[in-house]
Amino acid sequence: MITSPLRVILLFGGRSAEHEVSILSARSVAAAAPRQRIELVPVCIARDGRFIAPERSARILAGDDKSASGDKDFSFETWSRGQAIDVVFPLIHGTGGEDGSLQGYLEILGLPYVGSGVTASAVGMDKVHMRHAFAAAKLPMVDHVAVQEREWRHERERVTRAVTNALRLPYFVKPANSGSSVGVTKVKNDGMLDAAMEHALRFDEKVLVERGVDARELEVSVLGNENPEASVPGEIVAGRDFYDYTDKYVDDKSQLVIPAKLAKDKSDELRRHAITAFKAVGASGFARVDFFLERGTNRLYVNEINTIPGFTNISMYPKLWEATELKYPRLIERLIVLGIERSKARAARGVRAMEWLGEVNPIA
């Protein structure tokens, strides 16, 4: 529980395809944060990659300004060094926000932040490396094939054979580094593969081709640092052929079933796997873990982990915690406290490391 007011930078926007989603997430957090304990200072990263000063960022949150271009005369680094900031709450989804690059920048600036660090963010964002981590943790996954752009450009026939031999139709073609189902195509016949690959390669140089399963789509929210907790599972009933970007944020025809209608043993299995996935990538703070529960076989597969899950008013992450008796304002407080705790622990370890280095290698 926060006992004295904290000054928190609410960082949103970014250069990814999820720029608008990030604004919606930040807007929801700004509306729900308990103002008597948390002072939010909004800072937007424009579509051109430049930072926007807090005053204009506040207008963007309110819907009174645009975020296409940043403020050329505003230096986030200079400004932040002159501010009494307790922690940064980054809500930038996708590339440039969820992939470790932003986390590395904040580390360089010495700013504490909410959520996973550089390594966990990078592994969690890359669907191929993520699966390597999941495999090491012995988590169940559907069959998949990873394809590099250079392979597709120069060895297309071999790659096509590898995909069609390994996977039965239908299968999904996904950019390895993307979120909110951006760039994903459901391939229903082999003739669709070329177009699906080209579409995915618009967003990343690495593609994951994954066997489609007739399955229920389930999600679990995870919260914590060293001792993470899992929420009750929820289910997404897609309003389209699959739960894509349009279904999530445009049509809004999908349905969220919270809690998911599951037997207790299956619900417990989901929660255990969610915590295992969280630990497998080294996540901290918060994450949402997505699953497939195959119809007919009742087999459970881990799909992916999202280390900066959506916080919009339709997002599953806060809704699942609300169903687990943790209300939205309290959830925001918990995340901020977890970010500060992690930063203090890392800082203390850094001091100890420098003390040791000075003992074994004194510099005149």
Please give the mean pLDDT across all residues of the chain: 92
* 28 or 350, higher pLDDT: 28
Percent of the chain topping pLDDT 90: 82
Q: Do domains 124-140+213-323 and 144-211 have the same CATH topology?
A: no
Average pLDDT over residues 28-54: 95
- Is 84 strand, coil or helix? coil
- Band (pLDDT 50/70/90 cuts) for residue 253 is low
Q: DSSP secondary structure string, 164-212?
A: HHH-PSSEEEEESB--TTTT-EEE-SGGGHHHHHHHHTTT-SEEEEEE-
Q: Is the pLDDT reported for residue 113 higher than 80?
A: yes
**What CATH class is the domain 144-211?**
alpha beta
Residue range 292-328, pLDDT digits in tens:
999 999 999 999 999 999 988 789 999 999 999 999 9
| pLDDT confidence of residue 1 | 62
**What CATH class is the domain 6-114?**
alpha beta
Q: Are 212 and 170 in contact (CB under 8 A)?
A: yes
| pLDDT confidence of residue 331 | 95
Residue range 128-177, pLDDT digits in tens:
999 999 999 999 999 999 999 999 999 999 999 999 999 999 999 999 98
Q: State both tokens at 69.
A: 């271009």
d(CA 261, CA 265): 12
Q: Are 129 and 144 in contact (CB under 8 A)?
A: no
Q: Which fold has domain 124-140+213-323?
A: D-amino Acid Aminotransferase; Chain A, domain 1 (3.30.470)
CB count in 10 Å sphere of residue 94: 25
CA 116 vs CA 103, 150, 166, 283, 361: distances in Å: 8, 31, 34, 5, 32
Q: Where are the domains of the chain?
A: 6-114, 124-140+213-323, 144-211
Average pLDDT over residues 103-122: 96
- Is 39 strand, coil or helix? strand
Lowest-pLDDT range of 97-106, 343-352, 355-364:
355-364
